[in-house]
Structure 1
Amino acid sequence: MKTTATAIAALKTWQRTVSRRRAIAGLTPDRLRDIGHAEAPAPVLEVKAGLVTNLMSMR
């Protein structure tokens, strides 16, 4: 009984998580900001000052 109850609770939790993710995936960036949800992290390229100079001097 205990194992069955645990499995059912895990299934319900998983279903709620999936439905929330689907709902959030369908929102526009403006609506995400309205509800206070952070936008998905985007890859960022960081170039430090003087990097090109250093690379050219290594040539």
Structure 2
Amino acid sequence: MAHSETYAVIGGPEKRLLEPYISVGIIAFLRRWRRSVARRKALADLTIDQLRDIGHPDADRPRFEIDARLAAKLMSMR
């Protein structure tokens, strides 16, 4: 019986001590997530020239490399 009383006294305050840290972590995560979503939306609206003006690399956009001989051959087939 004494063991369960001791456990209840120790277990209660420990849980209350962790709750503020957990809620602060959740709030910080949600703020970072909101900022990243807003940043992605703002960058998606910019043109390639505007992205170059602000110094943002356009590495995430698809890029195709076509050999000059292939381009010439395709143009001649046209």
Same fold (TM over 0.5): yes
Deviates more, 1:14-23 or 1:38-47: 38-47
Count of residues in Structure 1 that have an aligned counterpart in Structure 2: 47
Choose which of 20, 25, 29 in structure 2 pairs with 1:10.
Answer: 29
| Greater relative contact order structure (CA < 8 Å, 6+ sep) | 1
Instruction: Specify the SS of the correspondent of 2:55.
Output: coil
Q: Distance in 2 between matches of 1:31 and 1:43?
A: 18
Q: Distance in 1 between matches of 2:47 and 2:55?
A: 12
Choose which of 49, 56, 64 in structure 2 pairs with 1:37.
Answer: 56
Does 1:21 pair with 2:72? no
Please report the TM-score for the alignment, with normalisation by the length of structure 1: 0.69
User: What are the equivalent positions in structure 2 for 1:37-56 lying under 5 Å apart?
Assistant: 37-39=56-58, 40-44=60-64
Instruction: Specify the SS of the correspondent of 1:42.
Output: coil
Q: Tell me the CA shift for residue 46 of structure 1.
A: 7.2
Moved over 4 A (4+): none
Instruction: Specify the SS of the correspondent of 2:49.
Output: helix
Q: Distance in 2 between matches of 1:11 and 1:22?
A: 17
* Structure 1 unaligned regions, length at least 5: 48-59
State, as a whole percentage, how many aligned pairs show the same letter.
Answer: 40
Q: Which has the higher helix share?
A: 2
